[in-house]
Chains A and B, each alone.
Chain A
């Protein structure tokens, strides 16, 4: 009886070992595949590989604002173009993403809701990483308020800025307009990991200090929930997160001087009525990886060719066709 149990134990142990061994085997093969695809085009002529079946992985991290668009593109690419390529999309935030992008064997793309910074560009140079900026869409920085807020639906840029500035006397709604409630404003936004924060700080606040009482969050979903539950809440983020939560939030129409403009796909553009709060969003490509791995280059070209098709449904305005073509011809020349 005891011996039987020991036998059972041994069988289970053996089973586990065998299974684990199988796993390693399967993996080594997989590892080899990625190795060959990354170590050069010796296995398959590069030109051919572009139209034929590709494999290996494409790793994308970065902006949470750009994530829905890139995730959509990645999925379509795997369904309709290259089903054996694994495109993996994460969203740590623009700045956090650049930290993963600017290392040896880093990510292939970094989505960004702001331009690359000088020090990041310098770090890339030190590492010998050639970086290509690809503008993918236009996003409107959207200020959202609670559905029950019936006073602050239209504001000027100056009023909005005064809410977030450290150097301002605005703390209550009544400080902006005496007719508004005498209640404290609860300002919120994404934290420093996000390009949206940096865009707001650099371009909108013009690098003036942000009020330390502003509630900065890592996740956009947290901001959506906070504002939807707080009558005095106001937050800023990309238009896409507003579009998908119109039932819970309302957007502030901004009066840039010619009457209030609501953020919308047709007002967000480089010369549209919402242009002052419009920003381009990017994905940064590691050009070295694009040259080494055919699947990275192929995906980059796919992104540029299809970007405007998926921009609208994920809450972005399209970029001019001429800029798309410029980038496509650059990528094809790699």
Chain B
């Protein structure tokens, strides 16, 4: 009993409890910090923008006159861009993942590819813009059209799709593919009938999240050169185009010319957020409904 000084013990415990509470508060503040600013952002955007959202705004053509400006051109531009990005990244991304997970032999080459894919995922988006400008717009002479923008954007999100697909494929237990081999299936048959169907929900989730990143991205398109005023709707992937985030960018800048543009920018942000919300919810639904734990 001599070893335990009651008073000192109590003091120490108290101190520890206080420290415990302080750290709890600090971490809670950290967690709410982001939420707080999200709330401020949403509040500001909605109060500024909701008044500008009407049928004409959603379906009309772009205009220099705020009261008749619409964003259908930007919506269609985003749509066409996704129509390029989605198939290109799905094919290349899933293809790469299958090769890396199913065919490539473990060793230096695989490590090299793997490391570089991780590196690519960290390359700033504006660099992809410069690449897209050099290769697609200039060298391939496509011009600043949907196809060029879409290919640059595909490169940007490709690493994300590859990594997500790899994870999805890797999470499939060996016994499934081994059972297939045991029945005499070839590698392709196994991939086609066992691996891909089982990995599909994971792959789709990753791909949709990557697409939603591409929808909100501006930096590569700023470099490729999107006209500040482009009124006609893009009719295909060889047309010049504008997208929702670019329209937000230009309207925000031009708010110094026409004050109402700020409200249009806010309204466009709402439209973009709704689109992203729908995409991300789809990803979550797919993940929760279809992903099976083996």
Contact = CB atoms under 8 A, between A and B. Distances in A.
Interface of A: 2-3, 5-6, 8-9, 13, 16-17, 19-20, 23-28, 30-31, 57, 59, 67-68, 71-72, 74-75, 78, 86-91, 100, 219-221, 224-225, 240-241, 244-245
B228 interface: yes
Most buried by B among A67, A86, A88: A88
A41 B91 CA distance: 42
B86 A16 contact: yes
Contacts of A244: 256-259
B228 A90 contact: yes
A3 B259 CA distance: 56
B193 A6 contact: yes
A30 B197 contact: no
Contact of B240 (A6, A8, A86, A245): A86
B257 A240 contact: yes
Given A16-B86, A75-B63, A244-B257, A86 B232 contact: yes
Contacts of B63: 75
B236 A91 contact: no
Contact of B236 (A9, A30, A74): A30
Given A6-B196, A16-B83, 5 more contacts: A23-B80, A75-B65, A78-B232, A89-B229, A244-B258
Most buried by A among B228, B235, B240, B259: B228
Contact of B231 (A59, A78, A225): A78
Nearest to B203: A9
Contact of A9 (B80, B84, B197): B197
B40 interface: no
A71 B229 contact: yes
Given A86-B231, A221-B254, A6 B192 contact: yes
Interface string B184-205: 0000000011101110100000
B253 interface: yes
A57 B240 contact: yes
B256 A225 contact: yes
Given A8-B200, A17-B87, A23-B80, A72 B64 contact: yes
A64 to B, nearest CB: 9
Contacts of B169: none
Interface residues of B, number: 41
A266 to B, nearest CB: 22
Given A23-B80, A68-B64, A221 B256 contact: yes
The 9 closest A-B pairs by CB, nearest first: A27-B238, A27-B236, A221-B256, A26-B236, A88-B227, A5-B197, A89-B229, A16-B87, A2-B197
Nearest to A92: B225
A72 B66 CA distance: 12
Contacts of A245: 256
A311 to B, nearest CB: 14
B90 interface: yes
A27 B239 contact: yes
Interface in B146-186: 147
Interface of B: 63-65, 80, 83-84, 86-87, 90-91, 147, 192-194, 196-198, 200, 225-232, 235-240, 252-259, 290
A19 B83 CA distance: 7
A67 B253 contact: no
28 contacts: A5-B197, A9-B196, A13-B91, A16-B86, A25-B236, A26-B235, A27-B236, A27-B237, A27-B238, A30-B236, A59-B227, A68-B64, A71-B228, A72-B64, A75-B65, A75-B231, A78-B231, A88-B229, A89-B229, A90-B225, A90-B226, A220-B256, A221-B253, A221-B254, A244-B256, A244-B258, A244-B259, A245-B256
B234 to A, nearest CB: 9
Contacts of B290: 5
Contacts of A8: 200
B10 to A, nearest CB: 55
Given A2-B194, A90-B225, A68 B257 contact: yes
Contacts of B232: 78, 86
B256 A89 contact: no
Given A16-B86, A27-B236, A225-B256, A67 B193 contact: no
Contact of A28 (B65, B230, B238): B238
Contact of A241 (B192, B198, B256): B256
A7 to B, nearest CB: 9
A67 B67 CA distance: 19
A31 B238 contact: yes
A183 B94 CA distance: 62
A72 B256 CA distance: 16
B225 A221 contact: no
A78 B90 CA distance: 38
Contacts of A78: 231-232
A2 B258 CA distance: 56
